[in-house]
């Protein structure tokens, strides 16, 4: 039973991506086809034909609650690692846009062209125009970090970035971290340590943590760095350093100890002890 | 957000010309404050001029000290090897502000031009002389726990939010500005930000049509003895209740020169001139640090909800000087 209890938040976290896939067509890999065939044989054809829909997802949820999904899926999370394919971006209605900006940039290693209103933030462009709904709108005022994405290698807030300023830049979102079905080590560490409860802040947390690895490697300092004048590369982050450096990502469920453990594990590559003990 | 035209400047003079030709245009750097203000309808420029592609990103030593490009990012400035070794007070102050994401976006020039985080300034349903001159000050009789204890006027009690600027004030920097006619002028840091007086709508002495090109910091002997103390409601990612940038130029056991500026207490980075004058030539001791802090804070005029800032100021100055002495 314990396995199932552990798995539930995992499924809940990925639900946001699934619900938001809406009408997107998503080609399934052979492993995924087999999985769906086992779990939902009567609906496999439809899934293959029209992609995932909310009712498929709800069914998956009920299977998860019954423990069937967990027992079926070894590495179930891999199923959800891949992002929805980006369909052709629909053009805005000509004339309906007062201050249009033609934007060419790179999103998750894919050259992307889109016409945006000058007011449109990078976050809204990713979510509403390009269909990448992994990046979340929490506060929309730069206070929560849920919208964190990686632009030209650096973590930034997509809610306070105008899309028009991204011309020629390279954007990595949560959907761009996994390689095919293989999770980014940070994603895997978050899953292992349950670095979330509701999962809403998680895409931002993970993007932030991935960029943090680069910052630590470069030897960037933080406010709690003991000797700011001493400069070294490849800093091994302490709990205190991780807390300070991740302070731009708020988690209202309070999964902080698990997030810190996940980041430590991802950085060291060694197993980090969990921060709690199961009782009973 | 109101509709606006998006333009991109290719060089400095083009940026200035674009700005001059539209009185309601604004320059866009990192946008971390401006965009937020536009979403709240506090700012409504009709044109945004993206200047982030300009070549104003270098940080380099010169004969007088070091020059920080106006468009260098806060992160790059705080982590620059020379800043970390020779101006660690600046690194510390930058890293005390905002979050990693915001520091990756924010530019040095933009940091100086941040507007107050007074919640009445942000709330367009409330009167605010800074946002709408003549409408009144809601903070004066409202919740003013976060507000000023020095230099406020009957028009405005807001505080200036930047941490970086507090260190630049203590480091006695200056701001280099490109003017409309193509010539440059240097503004001493103390004169850059201004007190609210009867015109709280103005935060600084920059004129429309001027572009900050760099921040110049003179050489100093503070590197081994400086500290930035920030007291806030949570441990990280919060604005200061009180902050202190302190540096000591020591001559043996005596203080040749004390550099002390405060954040979170006034409409601008507050140079603690009384404390600085008190310490000059005196022995570096906790007793003298506390006496200097008391001399400075004696002139404080707290509001109804922020009397705690006076004692907090005394303790923070003392603490910062002790940390600076220890190095």
Rg (chain A; Cα; Å): 20
Find chain B residues with C-beta within 8 A of A164's C-beta: 6, 50
The CATH number, out of the four listed (3.40.50.2000, 3.40.30.10, 1.10.150.120, 3.40.50.300), of the domain defined by the range A185-268: 1.10.150.120
pTM attached to this predicted model: 0.88
Domain assignment of residue B64, yes or no: no
Q: Assign A136 a pLDDT band (cuts: 50, 70, 90).
A: very high
Cβ of residue A138 closer than 8 Å to a chain B Cβ: no
Residue in B6, B223, B237 nearest the CB of A247: B237
Find chain B residues with C-beta within 8 A of A229's C-beta: 84-85, 88, 223
| Residue B40 distance to chain A (closest CA, Å) | 9
In this predicted structure, the answer to whether residue A4 has a pLDDT above a threshold of 60 is no
Cβ of residue B94 closer than 8 Å to a chain A Cβ: no
Rounded to 5°, the CA angle A275-A276-A280 comes to 160
Domain assignment of residue B268, yes or no: yes
Helix (H, G, I), strand (E, B) or coil at B188: strand
Residue A11 has a pLDDT of 37
Cβ of residue B27 closer than 8 Å to a chain A Cβ: no
| Closest by CA position to A47, among listed A61, A34, A65 | A34
Residue A226 has a pLDDT of 95
CA distances from A146 to A37, A143, A192, B185, B291 (A): 35, 9, 21, 41, 46
CA distances from B3 to A142, A165, B47 (A): 21, 16, 8
A118 φ, ψ (degrees, to nearest 5): -60, -25
Domain assignment of residue B202, yes or no: no
| Residue B72 distance to chain A (closest CA, Å) | 14
Residue A48 has a pLDDT of 72
How is the beta sheet containing B47-50 ordered, strand by strand? B5-8, B47-50, B25-28
Q: Assign A148 a pLDDT band (cuts: 50, 70, 90).
A: very high
Domain assignment of residue B23, yes or no: yes
Find chain A residues with C-beta within 8 A of B91's C-beta: 221, 228
Name the domain boundary from B21, B37, B55: B55
Rounded to two decimals, the ipTM of the complex is: 0.97
| Closest by CA position to B197, among listed B186, B205, B187 | B205
To 10 degrees, what angle do helices A256-268 and A202-218 make?
40
Query: Which residues share a beta bridge with A162?
Result: A121
**Two structure tokens written together for A96:** 């309906």
Residue A51 has a pLDDT of 65
Residue in A223, A229, A248 nearest the CB of B95: A223
Report yes or no: A204 and A160 within 8 Å, Cβ to Cβ: no
CA distances from A87 to A101, A114, A176 (A): 21, 12, 15
Query: Which residues share a beta bridge with B48?
Result: B6, B26
| Residue B76 distance to chain A (closest CA, Å) | 9
Contacts of A66 (CB under 8 A, 6+ apart): none
Residue A82 has a pLDDT of 55
Residue A10 has a pLDDT of 39
Q: pLDDT of A229-260, one tens digit each?
A: 999 999 999 999 999 999 999 999 999 999 99
**DSSP letter assigned to residue A125:** I
Cβ of residue A104 closer than 8 Å to a chain B Cβ: no
Query: What is the mean pLDDT, run by run of 10 residues, along chain B of 327 residues?
Result: 97 97 98 98 98 97 97 98 98 98 98 98 98 98 98 98 98 98 97 98 97 98 98 97 98 97 98 98 98 98 98 98 97
Q: Please report where in the chains the tokens 């086992």 appear, as a residue.
A: A38
- The better pLDDT of the pair A44, B267 is held by B267
Q: Any idea what the CATH number is for the domain that residue B40 is in? A: 3.30.43.10
Residue B273 has a pLDDT of 98
Touching A: B residues 232-261, CB under 8 Å: 235-237
Domain assignment of residue B163, yes or no: no
Domain assignment of residue B75, yes or no: no
Domain interval for residue B47: 1-55
Residue A69 has a pLDDT of 58
| d(C-alpha B34, C-alpha A119), whole Å | 12
| d(C-alpha B288, C-alpha B299), whole Å | 18
- Domain ranges in chain A are 2-80, 100-141+150-175, 185-268
Residue A98 has a pLDDT of 87
Q: Assign A34 a pLDDT band (cuts: 50, 70, 90).
A: confident
Residue A9 has a pLDDT of 39
**Two structure tokens written together for A9:** 């938040």
Residue A33 has a pLDDT of 76
| Residue A262 distance to chain B (closest CA, Å) | 19
Classified by CATH at the fold level, domain A100-141+150-175 comes out as Ubiquitin-like (UB roll) (3.10.20)
Any long-range contacts for B195-198 (C-beta under 8 Å, 24+ apart)? B195/B151, B195/B152, B195/B153, B195/B266, B195/B267, B195/B268, B196/B129, B196/B130, B196/B151, B196/B152, B196/B153, B196/B155, B196/B156, B196/B157, B196/B158, B196/B267, B197/B153, B197/B155, B198/B153, B198/B155
Residue A244 has a pLDDT of 98
Q: Assign A30 a pLDDT band (cuts: 50, 70, 90).
A: confident
DSSP B214-271: EEEEE--S-TTSEEEEEEESSSSSS-EEEEEEEEEEEETTEEEEEEEEEESSSSS-EE
Q: Please report where in the chains the tokens 């480091």 appear, as a residue.
A: B171
CB–CB contact B95 A222 (8 Å): yes
Report yes or no: A112 and A104 within 8 Å, Cβ to Cβ: yes
The pLDDT > 70 percentage for chain A reads 74
| Closest by CA position to A108, among listed A170, A56, A193 | A170
| Residue B233 distance to chain A (closest CA, Å) | 14
Report yes or no: A132 and A126 within 8 Å, Cβ to Cβ: yes
Cβ of residue A120 closer than 8 Å to a chain B Cβ: no
B45 φ, ψ (degrees, to nearest 5): -65, 150
Residue B79 has a pLDDT of 98
| Residue B106 distance to chain A (closest CA, Å) | 10
Q: Assign A52 a pLDDT band (cuts: 50, 70, 90).
A: low
Q: pLDDT of A69-100, one tens digit each?
A: 555 554 555 555 555 555 567 777 767 788 99
| Closest by CA position to A219, among listed B225, B60, B75 | B75
Q: Assign A5 a pLDDT band (cuts: 50, 70, 90).
A: very low
Residue A3 has a pLDDT of 35
DSSP A240-259: HHHHHHTTTS--TT--HHHH
| Closest by CA position to B231, among listed B326, B166, B142, B288 | B166
Q: Report the pLDDT averaged over residues A5-34.
A: 49
Report yes or no: B128 and B118 within 8 Å, Cβ to Cβ: yes
The tally of domains found in chain B comes to 2
Q: Which candidate in B101, B103, B117, B225 is best for mutational testing of the A interface (most A CBs within 10 A)?
A: B101
Find chain A residues with C-beta within 8 A of B28's C-beta: 162, 165
Q: Any idea what the CATH number is for the domain that residue B264 is in? A: 3.30.390.50
| d(C-alpha B61, C-alpha B219), whole Å | 9
Residue in A142, A160, A245 nearest the CB of B100: A245
CA distances from B206 to A84, A166, B171, B265 (A): 49, 28, 20, 22
| Closest by CA position to B13, among listed B45, B50, B54 | B54
Helix (H, G, I), strand (E, B) or coil at B11: coil
């Amino acid at each position: 039973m314990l396995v199932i209890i552990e798995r539930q938040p995992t499924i809940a976290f990925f639900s946001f991506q699934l619900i938001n896939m809406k009408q997107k067509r998503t080609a399934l890999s052979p492993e995924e086809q087999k999985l769906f065939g086992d779990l939902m044989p009567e609906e496999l054809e439809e899934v293959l034909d029209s992609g995932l829909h909310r009712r498929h997802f709800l069914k998956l949820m009920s299977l998860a609650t019954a423990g069937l999904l967990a027992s079926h899926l070894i590495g179930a999370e891999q199923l959800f690692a891949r992002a929805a394919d980006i369909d052709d971006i629909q053009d805005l209605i000509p004339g309906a846009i007062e201050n249009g900006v033609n934007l060419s940039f790179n999103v998750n290693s894919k050259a992307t062209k889109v016409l945006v209103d000058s007011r449109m933030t990078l976050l809204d462009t990713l979510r509403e125009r390009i269909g990448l709904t992994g990046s979340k709108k929490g506060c929309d005022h730069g206070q929560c970090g849920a919208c964190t994405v990686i632009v030209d290698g650096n973590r930034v807030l997509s809610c306070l970035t105008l899309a028009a300023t991204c011309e020629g830049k390279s954007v990595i979102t949560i959907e761009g971290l996994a390689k095919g079905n293989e999770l980014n080590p940070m994603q895997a560490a978050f899953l292992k340590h349950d670095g979330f409860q509701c999962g809403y802040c998680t895409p931002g947390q993970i993007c932030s943590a991935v960029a943090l690895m680069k910052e630590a490697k470069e030897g960037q300092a933080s406010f709690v760095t003991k000797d700011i004048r001493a400069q070294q590369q490849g800093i091994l982050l302490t709990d205190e350093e991780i807390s300070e450096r991740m302070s731009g990502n708020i988690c209202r469920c309070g999964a902080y100890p698990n997030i810190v453990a996940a980041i430590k594990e991802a950085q060291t590559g060694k197993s980090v002890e969990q921060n709690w003990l199961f009782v009973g | 957000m109101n509709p606006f035209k998006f333009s991109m400047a290719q060089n400095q003079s083009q940026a200035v010309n674009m700005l001059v030709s539209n009185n309601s245009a604004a320059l866009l750097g990192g946008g971390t404050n401006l965009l937020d203000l536009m979403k709240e309808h506090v700012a409504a420029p009709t044109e945004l001029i993206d200047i982030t592609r300009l070549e104003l990103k270098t940080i380099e030593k010169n004969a007088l000290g070091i020059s920080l490009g106006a468009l260098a990012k806060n992160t790059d400035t705080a982590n620059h090897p020379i800043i970390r070794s020779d101006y660690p007070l600046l690194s510390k102050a930058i890293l005390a502000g905002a979050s990693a994401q915001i520091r990756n976006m924010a530019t040095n020039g933009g940091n100086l031009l941040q507007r107050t985080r007074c919640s009445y300034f942000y709330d367009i349903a409330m009167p605010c002389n800074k946002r709408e001159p003549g409408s009144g000050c809601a903070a004066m009789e409202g919740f003013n726990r976060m507000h000023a204890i020095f230099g406020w006027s009957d028009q405005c009690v807001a505080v200036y939010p930047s941490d970086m600027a507090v260190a630049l004030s203590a480091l006695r920097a200056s701001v280099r500005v490109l003017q409309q006619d193509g010539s440059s002028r240097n503004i001493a840091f103390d004169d850059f930000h201004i007190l609210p007086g009867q015109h709280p709508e103005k935060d600084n002495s920059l004129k429309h049509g001027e572009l900050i090109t760099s921040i110049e910091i003179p050489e100093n002997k503070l590197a081994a003895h400086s500290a930035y103390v920030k007291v806030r409601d949570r441990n990280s990612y919060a604005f200061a209740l009180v902050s202190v940038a302190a540096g000591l130029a020591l001559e043996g056991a005596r203080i040749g020169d004390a550099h002390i500026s405060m954040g979170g207490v006034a409409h601008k980075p507050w140079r603690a001139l009384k404390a600085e004058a008190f310490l000059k030539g005196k022995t570096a001791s906790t007793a003298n640090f506390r006496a200097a802090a008391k001399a400075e804070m004696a002139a404080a005029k707290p509001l109804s909800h922020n009397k705690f800032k006076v004692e907090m100021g005394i303790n923070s100055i003392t603490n910062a000087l002790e940390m600076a002495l220890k190095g």
